[in-house]
Structure 1
Amino acid sequence: MATPLSADRFLSALKGAGLGVVEHGRWRTHNRNTQGNWGPVNGVMIHHTGPYSSEDDMVELCRVGYRGLPGPLCHGVIDRSGTVHLVGYGRTNHAGMGDTDVLLAVIAEKETLPRDNEADTDGNRHFYGFECVNTGSQSWPAAQLDAMARAAAAVCRAHGWTERSVIGHKEWQPGKPDPGGIDMADFRDRVATHLKGAAKPPTKPKPDPKPKPRRYAAYPGPEFFRTGRSSPVIAAMAKRLIAEECSSFDTPPGPVWTEAHRRSYAAYQIKNGYQGSDADGIPGKTTWAKLRVPHQSAPGSAPRARKEKDVVPPVLADVAERTIATYVQSMLGLLAAASTTDILSLSVWESASVAAVPAALSVLKSCLGTVLGRRGTASWLPLHRDPATPR
């Protein structure tokens, strides 16, 4: 048994093992200590994250958690390049309830662990936790495996533990599969190698990479949020509302704006102190900025801005195109008529016949426009200048 390391000692131990470390937010004080004890600590637990859309998103999920399981979900996330992302420190929601017999074996540092067949002991107070980015069925990059072993060894070294104080989640809680594809006995051998100093250290200490600045979706305006609107931004917003424990969704939310989205956002507005008509469920600029919806690069995420080089407004370009085309058609019609007769002496029916010439030219121009201009219209304007193009 041991008193937990201070956050600074924990960080120093990881860096001393030659690991690249990224510190996220106020990780030193981000924890679940109000929900239970942290310590005495007895070991290190290794997990895999499960399916993920991107490594950055998974790091953020482990930091903030989700509905029903608030973050942090571990102390460090080890990405597939071997970088350790610190997202919390203290009690974290990673181990859950596990087998007392396993805990006693870890404390005694027994070579063989008993089978985990009960969930009667709180593991969050007893174990450091590292979530390692992997779906559970992916192969493990060598750099990531090495970082996982180095991180576990660093904590063990700081406490004076052996490799037998390192376990997998699947050895702790019945039914857990993680870390998938890793034989924990072999993994403990890796840790032992690092503890003995036999592992060749990196030739150069990895520089601490700076966290990538996260991009958040720009506020698209209140008119964007209407029934039937479909956008990846709406799906991303729903995930953030769930993370903020403001969900009114009966089923997993999708990208289409529904009444459940509106009710969920209203709950978020109320959470932020808004009442009455100010909590109508339509996102406002202030709460949107506070929600920090991740930027979505997929089409339809927000109204598209006009390109800087598009200095002529599309409507003016459309008017100019129509005016010029009409003038040319009329002029050609008059020239055709003047070449065969005296225009001033034409009868009504002859004038009507002459007028058919520019009309025919207009039809020809329209037919060509369906090929040259924006598909589905008779305009000759290119796509980015046609005012009918969605923006």
Structure 2
Amino acid sequence: MRRPRPRPSASHLANPRENYSDIAYNAVVCPHGYVYEGRGAHKQTGANGNATLNIRHYAVCAMLGNSGLTTPPDAQLAGLRDAIEWLRSSGDAGREIRGHRDGYPTARPGGPLYAWVKQGAPRPGSSKPEPPRQFEPFPGAAWFKTAPRSPIVTAMGRRLVAEGCSAYAEGPGPQWSDADRASSRKWQRKLGDDPQHCDGWPGPRQWAALKVPNV
């Protein structure tokens, strides 16, 4: 994938009103299909409208306007697909693809690009649809009490962080730890569980609500 670094706009580097410290997007794609690295992978975006969306989602900007070029060319759609696949392979992005308007009151992205997003962001010329999002089946409450070391634990921890329930000093990682249990306890409280039963050991209901992606 072509990822030369562009020069960020001055307002994104020095914007005290919106507290930008770098370009707000993780990646930017031009009409010719070039993918430019913005904040990059494993960096929180500043473009999704509010803190919750910025924690949960990466942000990829398509260089389009509300006049002039408003319909993305196939080359740009291919570049956007490149960016999605890069963030999945290098940034642990999930399967969900959404437009800005799905989580924030805005007209962005415009109609033609949003229609493509709603189709699952297919690569131009491909008839292969985006596979449905799959979630990790609940491994059982007893499994967590064996102090497992598994990618499932990492995937769960990342979802807890995305939900604002982190008790991690670092990580999360594959080894089940007291920090995982403390984060799970925060999730139970967020779901409104009886405080007497918020012991941090995941149950099937809390697991289903967390939507841990397949590893």
Higher helix share: 1
Relative to the length of structure 2, the TM-score reads 0.50
Q: Name the TM-score, length of structure 1 as normaliser.
A: 0.29
